[in-house]
Structure 1
Amino acid sequence: MSTTTLPADVSTTQAQYPRVGLYIDGEWIYNREVAVEVRNPATEEVLGKVPKATSDDLARALDAAARGFLVWRDTPPQQRVKVIQRATALMRERLDLIATTITLENGKLYSNSYAEADRSLNFFEWNAAQSLRDYGLIIPGEAQMQKFILRQPIGPVAAFTPWNVPISSAARKVSAALSAGCSVILKPAEETPATACLLVKAFEDAGLPPGVLNLVFGNPSEISSTLIASPIIRLVTFTGSVGVGKHLTQLAAAAMKPVLMELGGHAPVLVCEGVDGAAVGRLAAIGKTNASGQICASPSRFIVHRTVYDDFVAAFSGAVKEVRVGDGFSKTAQMGPVASARRLSAMQSFVEDAKQRGARIAAGGNRIGDRGYFFEPTVLADVPIDADAMTIEPFGPLAACVRVDDLGEAIALANSLSVGLAAYAFTNSLQDSERVSRELECGILSINHFGTPDADTPFGGVKDSGIGREGGPSTLDAYMITKTVLQKTVRI
């Protein structure tokens, strides 16, 4: 059974937790009513308090973003890039502080937090570089007519980011918006606020003009409805659950505003005939326990060919039983807690539902201890396809395994849900690889590994999993408008 380990040499009570504040028009604001208390998932201790933005604060943030946009839009791209590069360099110098803060707030292993923070810098570097290559066009035309296609920043952006990847998601949105020449009002999750404060602080120290980047916390419904309804905001971008994403999209539609949505998934893993089931099972244990399974691309539905199913489940469950669960600062822990009491309750609910429907618990299934939100990495075998674990994204260290007779059945089951973000396949057949690449309904497909896209490749989903893409050669598209200019070269 997985056991909890104590921190090796870092005490969360000794670690310095950054002060959380609103940042509006170049000013930090702390003296507000408390919105929520931030708790360490490993100890349940209170880390700090999050100030709640008032209606006046939101109005001021909107006004600041409007004025900041005019300044930043007219700043030459080369100068914008220099500011972004300075902020990126400062964040690189502060990686240890950022990673420590993520682990305090989110609970994930310090090594995972550091890797997330380090990877996030790629988004700033890539998007800044892309902004220098975002060319317009000149269209050949008839005599006395010049045709231009201009690329211009769309305007102030409202960006909403989640608790599970607090620096990565914010970096994707802020880097693209600022690189395109937009101003931003960033509203992160209240569960992980200090991580966003450190990002904003780096830009303040890098000399970003006031109003270009603003930070607000408080009542999520009040903030989203206020920002999206304002004529100042020109784009809404959100990473989070399908339900909230649909709600924000409806608000944006009422105000006739475009959206960029990266929403939930329930990633299928197709384990095909002819592979080494035990080897894939051991890989699955690593992929499933990464960040305690609390990432939108986490593998969660394991759809396995009957000829390798038993070997796969035995190796998968055996490997997760050996995973050491503990405080994210422990040097011996291999997986941290889930992020909140709410996620802990959800894991218990998935297990109970699966048991009642006849599934077998091959590994895990229980809370660890009574302090901190620790849950055993769990493998459920022979799960009915109508069980909650097969139909609802678990967003935790829980995997559902089912047996199928052929690849067609596997693809049909993988595509049966309304979501389609990430998917994975393990096969030694080029023919099967080509088929799953063509037929799986998803935005990201990884074959024979559990990797996900970096800054240079698009990230996003299909169906209910979102609208648009972040990253890759078209990374700035959502943050730009295309303007056609037709100029008659005649004297009037």
Structure 2
Amino acid sequence: MAPTAPKLTLKPGTAWSDAWRRCLAAAPEAFREDRVLNLWNGAWQADGHPLPATTPVDGTPIAGPPRLDSGTARAAVRAALDQHRAWRDAPLPERRARISAALDALADHRDLLALLLVWEIGKPWRLARADVDRAVDGVRWYADGIEPMLAGRTPLDGPVSNIASWNYPMSVLVHAMLVQALAGNAVIAKTPTDGGLACLTLACALIHREGIPVTLVSGSGGELSEALVRSPEIGCVSFVGGRDTGARVATAVADLGKRHILEQEGLNAWGIWEYSDWDALGRHIRKTFDYGKQRCTAYPRFVVQRSLFDAFLATYLPAVRSVRIGHPLAVASPDDPPPELDFGPLINAAKAKELTDQVAEAIDRGAVPLHRGDLADGLFLPGQDTSAYVPPVTLLNPPTGSPLHHAEPFGPVDSIVLVDTEAELLAAMNASNGALVASLSCDDEEAAGRLATEIRAFKIGLGKPRSRGDRDELFGGFGASWRGAFVGGELLVRAVTQGPEGERPPGNFPDYHLMPE
């Protein structure tokens, strides 16, 4: 008889109630027993209408966003302009000292920030801590080398408005905000609608204590966009999110001639052509499932030469079957560390249902299911709510009318498309009219380089994945995956500062040729 699996329990001291109690102790100015506050005009405000929320991890009620109306948001933007005018004149050594102190405070609260990310957006413990570390380490890199990046440059005329998706509150949103402030700008951020509220509130409380001009507000995009995008006080709009919302933001900033950085979704693809090093590919496949592919540089599409399909499957299927999912804080013994998972839940049960329905529809219309994981194999607490969890799924040749054929699923669903010619390979890899990253595995380096020039992705890895890159590497997108200034290293600073008269930073503009890496 097979041994009985141990009954799992929540790791002691990691319950949502424990995390909330620690937030109340760490930042009593920003948290109340039953809600968080908004931060604007240099003070924490008990305004807005708090909405109910639950964690995707197990359905436990958590803090919901205190949503502002448009009038209050406008007042917050006007107040941020006053803060901006004072901050932009602060000497660089003072700005850097304040930023450095804020980074020290964030590092001191690393584990609490990570625990909040686990509960609010379902990140496994390993990835939640990495999100905090990337934010802190990334901004330190800028603080250490900011002088030459700012030579001959001045802050913008108004604050930077940040609207970002929920998946990387620290390493994308807080990172960007602190670099923008280091460059001399006041910063405004809207909390993502779907998660990250408490983590961002704690981070902004620690940053605000150091005298850095930060505004943090909650509200619906439709209600707040007039203030956060169109207000004349705004010096730059930085957006990370989907194409539908991004298109509306792009239209607004184009009409106003406003500086902008708009990162949008794209279907990142990995092509396999005339290839034989399967061991090397196998080492990468499981890693592509980190955080359930809920990230902008995930690879949910594999485009495979038909004659290599059997060898590809022999490599791919063992890797996907090894993926581990479950409750990020479920342990067999109280002394055990949090489990080593590839991913936990999706951002909410609605997203899980949407993705499950798309899979079912694609199969009904002809897609072939090559792999479907089972939640029964996951690590879960007895009787817990698993409605936000989706195990890995792999489909062969989803129909062209399916969203899984042409759009980013933002979840653990892979699609495989078989091709016979180079032209078909390129067409399948370019299905979404622009992507942020792509990869191509091909034994012939010359052929790989030639094909790479035809792939409409900003970063292309040859035999390896590509990442966003936040320090000394340029990042942007092709086609509909990006609008406006590129970022990364010096260009992130250039995107939020003014240089010589008439200068426009390199980027994906209608009349600007893309700058090569």
TM-score for the superposition, normalised by structure 1? 0.88
Distance change in 2, residues 1:248/1:135 (3 Å): closer
Provide the rounded CA distance (Å) in 2 between the counterparts of 1:123 and 1:155: 24
- Secondary structure of 1:261's match? strand
- In the alignment, which residue of structure 1 is the partner of 2:296? 296
**Which deviates the most, 173-182 or 359-368?**
359-368
Distance change in 2, residues 1:90/1:432 (3 Å): farther
Distance change in 2, residues 1:282/1:356 (3 Å): farther
The answer as to 2:136 corresponding to 1:121 is yes
The correspondence for 1:193, drawn from 197, 220, 223, is 197
- Secondary structure of 2:138's match? helix
Matches within 5 A, 1:205-216: 205-208=209-212, 212-216=213-217
- In the alignment, which residue of structure 1 is the partner of 2:346? 338
Provide the rounded CA distance (Å) in 2 between the counterparts of 1:406 and 1:129: 49
Paired residue type of 1:217: S
The answer to which structure, 1 or 2, has the higher relative contact order (CA under 8 A, 6+ apart) is 1
- In the alignment, which residue of structure 2 is the partner of 1:142? none
- Secondary structure of 2:257's match? coil
- Secondary structure of 2:453's match? helix
Residue pair 2:58, 2:385 contacting (<8 A) in 1 also = no
- Secondary structure of 1:476's match? helix
The correspondence for 1:471, drawn from 473, 488, 511, is 488
Residue pair 1:108, 1:292 contacting (<8 A) in 2 also = no
Question: Which consecutive unaligned segments of at least 5 residues does structure 2 have?
Answer: 24-30, 331-337, 377-383, 503-517
Provide the rounded CA distance (Å) in 1 between the counterparts of 2:207 and 2:38: 14
- In the alignment, which residue of structure 2 is the partner of 1:179? 182
How many pairs does the alignment contain? 466
Instruction: Report the CA distance between 1:435 and its aligned residue.
Output: 2.0
- In the alignment, which residue of structure 2 is the partner of 1:429? 444
The correspondence for 1:16, drawn from 19, 22, 25, is 19
Distance change in 2, residues 1:324/1:424 (3 Å): same
- In the alignment, which residue of structure 2 is the partner of 1:141? none
The answer as to 2:208 corresponding to 1:204 is yes
- In the alignment, which residue of structure 2 is the partner of 1:360? 368
- In the alignment, which residue of structure 1 is the partner of 2:95? 80
Residue pair 2:243, 2:481 contacting (<8 A) in 1 also = yes
Provide the rounded CA distance (Å) in 2 between the counterparts of 1:259 and 1:4: 52
Paired residue type of 2:56: P
Residue pair 2:154, 2:184 contacting (<8 A) in 1 also = no
- Secondary structure of 1:201's match? helix
- In the alignment, which residue of structure 2 is the partner of 1:323? 323
- In the alignment, which residue of structure 2 is the partner of 1:461? 477
- Per-residue Cα deviation, 1:221-271 (whole angstroms, up to 9, x for no partner): 111112322211121110000110111122223333121101111101012
Provide the rounded CA distance (Å) in 2 between the counterparts of 1:200 and 1:14: 21
- Per-residue Cα deviation, 1:72-127 (whole angstroms, up to 9, x for no partner): 11011121111111111111111111111111100121101111111112331233
- In the alignment, which residue of structure 1 is the partner of 2:508? none
Provide the rounded CA distance (Å) in 2 between the counterparts of 1:338 and 1:318: 23
Distance change in 2, residues 1:436/1:78 (3 Å): farther
Residue pair 2:292, 2:342 contacting (<8 A) in 1 also = no
Provide the rounded CA distance (Å) in 2 between the counterparts of 1:247 and 1:28: 30
Instruction: Report the CA distance between 1:68 and its aligned residue.
Output: 0.8
- Per-residue Cα deviation, 1:140-166 (whole angstroms, up to 9, x for no partner): xxxxxxxxxx54434211110111112
The answer as to 2:161 corresponding to 1:158 is yes
- Per-residue Cα deviation, 1:328-348 (whole angstroms, up to 9, x for no partner): 223333321111122101221
- In the alignment, which residue of structure 2 is the partner of 1:389? 404
The answer as to 2:462 corresponding to 1:447 is yes
- In the alignment, which residue of structure 1 is the partner of 2:265? 264
Provide the rounded CA distance (Å) in 1 between the counterparts of 2:237 and 2:187: 10
Distance change in 2, residues 1:130/1:232 (3 Å): farther
Instruction: Report the CA distance between 1:380 and its aligned residue.
Output: 1.1
Residue pair 2:349, 2:389 contacting (<8 A) in 1 also = no
- Secondary structure of 2:490's match? coil
Paired residue type of 1:416: A
Segments of 4+ moved more than 4 angstroms: 3-8, 365-370
**Percent identical residues:** 25
Paired residue type of 2:229: I
TM-score for the superposition, normalised by structure 2? 0.84
Distance change in 2, residues 1:4/1:428 (3 Å): farther
- In the alignment, which residue of structure 2 is the partner of 1:309? 309
- Secondary structure of 1:443's match? strand
Paired residue type of 2:43: E
Provide the rounded CA distance (Å) in 2 between the counterparts of 1:429 and 1:375: 37
